[in-house]
Amino acid sequence: MMALIDLTRGKTASPEWNASVTHVMPKTGAHGLLYDEQVKAETDHLYARVRHVITPLEWPAYAPLIAAINRLKVERDAVILAHNYMTADIFNCVGDFRGDSLGLAREAAKVSAKVIVQGGVHFMAETSKILSPDKTVLIPSLQAGCSLAASITGADVRLIKARYPGLPVVTYVNTTAEVKAESDICCTSANAIAVVEAVARDWGVDRVILLPDEFLAKNVAAQTKIGIISWHGKCEVHEQFTADDIAEIRASHPGAIILAHPECPPDVVAVSDYTGSTGAMSDYVQRHKPAKVVLITECSMSDNVAADNPDVDFIKPCNLCPHMKQITLEAIYDALLHMRHEVTVEPELAARAKKAVDAMLALPPAPAGRFDPARRVPDTLELI
Ligand code: 13P
Ligand code: SF4
């Protein structure tokens, strides 16, 4: 069941606020950092990107941390990779590279800074470390896990391979390094259909193992002739959306365009207008500029896409990812200040996992938007 969670502290905010903040400055903020003239000068231009979600009254609580993080990034030679589910303050004001998990993995592979701070969850930080083993990779909170990554182990994959010899294992990037190391190729929600078809072609088979997300696997199976064997993992955020939620939204917001993430159940995808990765949803809004849109995904996504699309009306029913929300400005500041929560992956394991991630990155970029809502999940799908 969908929750009407509003993380947008300034939802009542009006877009006509002046980007130049001139109200009373508090003496101290978080960590004893001051909102003073220097911080104001360093951050006023950033406020313009978040003023639709942060009120002028709240901004002085954010700005000192934002300024301090941006200074620490220079001192430490660090970059922040910010996933689309980061809150607007992180995404817009301290993130250096922003995007979906595929985009962030591509950035991690070519980053030149010495330090990567992962604005995302642990599996994303592990992917960064696997792709950039010489960099120091920091995760601001050790609590930032993922229900999909927790759903399967390397030992599970070894058992599955023994049961289905000769079939390639395609693993969603939302998995641990140990699971990636047992896989032939990785995929993300942006390229899952293309990866499944490419690996089946390369191996000369008509079935592949696609782990661990049951709903992503079903949604992919509906779009391809390749037979899919999958696992029962689920995203705790997207599994909560139902087809009834979509019907309610359509009834109360006629004309709204509904975009869903492929981790949603297939009956949600079937009644949505478009399904794609977080990056694909963002591109859709940018390209089509619908008058009214609903993003069936994590709560922060709408705020972040809204920053670049001020004329689009975002209706915001969403579910919260408790893992993504562990990453806060305070946690990022502490991570950079103390260089803490370094993510390491044992080199032999990392080398095997890297083969699977590299195999995915070597494929040409896939065209977005191939989840046709009219296609149904075939009975041939096998769930382990
Ligand atoms: P994307 O790959 O679409 O960014 O999704 C990552 C994720 O964690 C979705 O829940
Ligand atoms: Fe994992 Fe779902 Fe959170 Fe993404 S939204 S990190 S898949 S629990």
Question: What count of other Cβ atoms lies within 10 Å of the Cβ of residue 11?
Answer: 12
pLDDT of residue 24: 38
User: Which residue's CA is the closest to the ligand 2 atom numbered 8?
Assistant: 146
Q: Is residue 90 part of a domain?
A: yes
pLDDT of residue 12: 27
Helix residue ranges, H only, 240-325: 243-252, 266-270, 278-288, 300-308
Does any ligand 2 atom lie closer than 6 A to the CB of residue 321? yes
Q: Which residue is associated with the tokens 């149904």?
A: 376
User: Which residue's CA is the closest to the ligand 1 atom numbered 2?
Assistant: 101
Tell me, in angstroms, the distance from the centre of ligand 2 to residue 298's CA: 8
Considering Cα of 165, then 169, then 175, then 181, what sign does the dihedral take? positive
Considering Cα of 3, then 215, then 267, then 365, what sign does the dihedral take? positive
Closest to 294 in 3D by CA, of 321, 254, 235: 254
Q: Is residue 120 part of a domain?
A: yes
Question: What count of other Cβ atoms lies within 10 Å of the Cβ of residue 283?
Answer: 17
Q: Is residue 193 part of a domain?
A: no
Q: Is residue 261 part of a domain?
A: no
Q: Is residue 180 part of a domain?
A: no
Task: Report yes or no: 66 and 82 within 8 Å, Cβ to Cβ.
Answer: no
Provide the residue type at 250 as one letter.
R
pLDDT of residue 32: 77
Does any ligand 1 atom lie closer than 6 A to the CB of residue 302? no
Q: Is residue 194 part of a domain?
A: no
pLDDT of residue 323: 97
Distance between start and end Cα atoms, the chain: 25
Q: Are strands 97-99 and 115-119 parallel, antiparallel or unpaired?
A: unpaired
Which of 139, 148, 219, 261 most suits a substitution to test ligand 2, by most atoms within 8 Å of the C-beta? 148
Considering Cα of 326, then 327, then 333, then 335, what sign does the dihedral take? positive
Does any ligand 2 atom lie closer than 6 A to the CB of residue 236? yes
* Domain range enclosing 38: 12-145+323-338
In this predicted model, what pLDDT tens digit does every residue of 363-376 receive, in sequence order? Answer: 987 676 579 999 99
Which of 102, 176, 189, 236 most suits a substitution to test ligand 2, by most atoms within 8 Å of the C-beta? 236
Does any ligand 2 atom lie closer than 6 A to the CB of residue 122? no
To 5 degrees, how large is the angle CA 334–CA 116–CA 341? 45
Does any ligand 1 atom lie closer than 6 A to the CB of residue 275? no
Q: Please give the tally of structural domains in the chain.
A: 1
Tell me, in angstroms, the distance from the centre of ligand 1 to residue 136's CA: 23
CATH of the domain at 140: 3.40.50.10800
Which of 7, 104, 146, 298 most suits a substitution to test ligand 2, by most atoms within 8 Å of the C-beta? 146
Tally of residues, the chain:
384
Which of 84, 281, 298, 325 most suits a substitution to test ligand 2, by most atoms within 8 Å of the C-beta? 298
Q: Is residue 154 part of a domain?
A: no
- Using alpha carbons, list the distances in angstroms from residue 257 to 111, 178, 274, 296: 36, 39, 8, 11
pLDDT of residue 1: 44
Tell me, in angstroms, the distance from the centre of ligand 1 to residue 100's CA: 6
User: Which residue's CA is the closest to the ligand 1 atom numbered 8?
Assistant: 174
Q: What are phi and psi of 214, to 5 degrees?
A: -60, -45
pLDDT of residue 30: 61
Cα 192 versus chain centre, distance: 15
Q: Which residues of the chain have pLDDT under 70?
A: 1-30, 366, 368-369
Q: Is residue 274 part of a domain?
A: no
